[in-house]
Amino acid sequence: MTSTLFEALHSEARSRLLDRVRGKRLVLPEGNDERCQEAAALLKKECGLSVQLVTPEEASEHKEAVRAGIESLAQSVGKKASERFLEGAADPLFYAGHLLRKGDCDAVVAGAVSETAQVLRAVLATVGLAKDTSCLTSVMLMALKSETAGGQKVLCFGDSGVIPQPSILQLSDIGVLAARAFENWLGEQAVTAFLSFATAGSARHSLVEAMREARNAFSEREPLRPVFGEVQFDVAVEPQVAARKLKGNVDDPWLEWRGKCNVLVFPDLNSGNICYKAVERLAGAAAWGPIVLGAARPYADLSRGCSAKDIAHVACLALCLAEPA
């Protein structure tokens, strides 16, 4: 049976992604929502997923077990945070995270009804942060109708929905997490750009310097991954422009990747969110996400305006993160 999911992807990438999620276990904690119910049916039919739809009544029955799980994370989140989190022990979002932490499912997807802040609170309370990151972030996967001048058909935009004004460390985290996720999903080389209104020292400003420092921090953590920054958007995606504006030499290890970036790190949430919506609405790109990154286990957020198919797309991408590519 031909799947209706990820139709904008080329057949090889699409088959690879969908094959990796078959038979996995998903929890949707907003089980009373019709879109979640429709998404569950779609995922069962097309991907053979096991999908658990959680209700408030079911979550309430397990609140003591959830409380115990939250208390076990108290050392990592702090006493005050743990006490606040305990107030949500009967929340379906928390119960779903409890199941994820125990290994009773492979991923959780929420946010069709709940606000992002509620979802992220549940993530931190139940599964916590991954060991090598300082924050939660989110990205959008954008499938373009036509390739960029650098030959890229799919781009990853971050942060698209979580951190309004990321620090230098957080910007570095966003880049690292997005690059790893891109390679996981597409099986292709991630080429990361830290975007700015200037390129390679063409302007002096604290905002420009922050992106340069974030890029340097990224390179220290991921020395084998191609990265550029600070660069303007056109430098990131157009080789001819990049050749003019970047003063690379023959010994530059990333010379062949100039203008071929596919992971784009924006300076702040304003620019990242505005840009992905503009590309989606004006250029007709398929936008899949947001996908929360940085959690110890895959717990994804949704836009409250999502459709059942949006939920299915996010679920598949989250499930892929449950294991190495």
Q: Which tens digit of pLDDT belongs to each residue from 112-154?
A: 999 999 999 999 989 999 988 999 999 999 999 999 999 999 9
The whole-number average pLDDT for the span 204-226 is 93
Residue among 127, 14, 12 nearest 72 (CA):
127
Is residue 42 in some structural domain?
A: yes
Q: What is the CATH number of the domain that holds 196?
A: 3.40.50.10750
Residues 122 and 144 in one domain: no
Residues 152 and 257 in one domain: yes
Residue 26: give the domain boundaries: 11-128+295-320
- How many independent structural domains does the chain possess? 2
Residues 70 and 163 in one domain: no
Q: Exposed e or buried b for every residue in 251-283, given b needs 16+ CB within 10 A?
A: eeeeeebbbbbbbbbbbebebbbebbeebeeee
Q: Which tens digit of pLDDT belongs to each residue from 60-114?
A: 998 898 888 777 766 555 555 556 677 667 899 999 999 999 999 999 999 999 9
Is residue 288 in some structural domain?
A: no
Question: What is the 3-class SS of 105-150, one letter each residue?
Answer: CCEEECCCCCCHHHHHHHHHHHCCECCCCCCCEEEEEEECCCCCCC
Is residue 46 in some structural domain?
A: yes
Residues 74 and 95 in one domain: yes
Residues 201 and 142 in one domain: yes
Residues 164 and 275 in one domain: yes
Residues 255 and 143 in one domain: yes
Is residue 2 in some structural domain?
A: no
Q: Is the dihedral of CA 170, 149, 181, 49 positive or negative?
A: positive
| Global pTM value | 0.92
Residues 274 and 309 in one domain: no
Residues 171 and 209 in one domain: yes
Residues 149 and 270 in one domain: yes
Alpha-carbon span 46 to 159, nearest angstrom: 30
Residues 34 and 151 in one domain: no
* 253 or 35, which is more confident: 35
Q: What is the CATH number of the domain that holds 108?
A: 3.40.50.10950
The whole-number average pLDDT for the span 284-305 is 95
Is residue 290 in some structural domain?
A: no
Is residue 4 in some structural domain?
A: no
Over the chain, what is the mean pLDDT? 91
Question: What kind and span of H or E run contains 25?
Answer: strand 25-28
The whole-number average pLDDT for the span 14-41 is 96
Least confident of 63-77, 251-265, 270-284: 63-77
